[in-house]
Amino acid sequence: MAFSLGSLTAYKDQDSFRNDIWTGTADYADTLQRTDVISVYNNVKANVLQLPKLAATATIADGDNCSFSASGDDTITQADITMVNYKVQKTWCVRTMEDYFTQGYLGAGQHYGNLGSIESNIVGETLKALGNAIEVNIWNDSTATAGSPGLADALIVQMDDNGPTPTGTPAAITSSNALDKVDALAAAVMADRNKAALAMNNQMVCYIGHKELFDYYLDYETTHGTKIHAKDFGETYVHGTNIPFVPVAGLSGTSYIMIAQRGNVSVGIDLMSDTSYLKFGMDQYEQNIWGEVRFKMGVGFRDVSQIVFHAAA
C-alpha cells in the first residue's frame, strides 16, 4: 500500500519566516539630509516664502580733498519660494489578509484596530518611499507635466527658466565626457572673481547625481590613468579645486550638474518632522484603517543667477 496524495496541493511553507519580510528599497533621500550645504527654513505656513537678498557697493573715489561725495547704492531684493501643501493618503481593509499566509500578522478576534505585526514594516517602507519621492521631486517636479506630482517647479526647472545660460553644450553625461563637463563648470567658477574666492574658501559645492559622479570617476581614470577618491564620495573634490562633490539621488540620471554657494539651495517647510509622521485612524464604521502624511514644502534658490550648471540635451 502507498500514500495517495494526488488531490493535495504541494506544501509551501509560507508561515515560518513571515516576520522576516524583505524590504529591498534603499533610502536615498539625500538632499534634505545635507543641511550643511542647503538652507532650511522652518515654520512656514504662507503660500510664498520671500527671502531677502542684499547687494552692497563700495565705489572708490579720489580722496585728495576734504569734500564728502556719496556714491553707490545698496540694493535689497527678495527671492520667492513657492510653498505647496502635499499629502499621502492610504487605506487598508485588514480582513483581506485573512485568506492568505498574511493572517499570521493579525491578532485574535475580528475587531482590528491596527495592521497587526506588519504595521511597523508598512510604516517604515511608506516613509522610505515618501522620502525618496520627495528627493526626486525637489529636483525634478514640474507644473508642466501631470502627475508625480506635478505641483511645483522644482530646482531643475528653476535653473532652466531663471538661471544663467548653461555652461558648455547641453548633453547627456557619459563616462566619456563627464570629466570635461565638470572641468568646464569649475573653469566658469574660477573665471568669476567672486565665485572663485568662495570656491577657494570651500564655500561652493558641486551637486551631482550618483550616476554622473560614477561617470566622472571612470572618465578621470581613463584620462589620467589612475584611480581617484577611493575613500568616500562625500569627501571628494572637483579636480584642482576646493569644491566638494555633493552627490544627490534626485539628480541621478538627469545629466544636470550644478555648482552653487553653500546655502543657495533653499527649502521652506512648515515642520520637517511632518514628512516622517504617518498618522493612523479608523473610518467611521471602524472597518478600514487609514493612514495619512501631510506636509508643506517649497524649494528654490537664494540667488539663482549665482549658480553655474550643465544642462541635459
Tens-place pLDDT, residues 214-232: 999 999 989 987 766 544 4
Instruction: Identify the pLDDT of residue 232.
Output: 47
Residue 147 is predicted with a pLDDT of 66
| Residue range 276-288: mean pLDDT, rounded | 93
Q: Give the side-chain half-sphere CA count within 13 A for 40.
A: 15
Q: How many CB atoms are closer than 10 A to CB 299?
A: 26
pTM of the model: 0.91
Residue with cell 513571515: 18
Mean pLDDT of 230-238: 63
Asked if 208 and 190 touch (Cβ cutoff 8 Å), the reply is no
Domain 31-52+75-310: assigned CATH number:
3.90.1690
Q: What are phi and psi of 280, to 5 degrees?
A: -115, 155
What are 258's three cell numbers? 550644478
Rounded to a whole number of angstroms, the distance between the first and last alpha carbons of the chain is 75
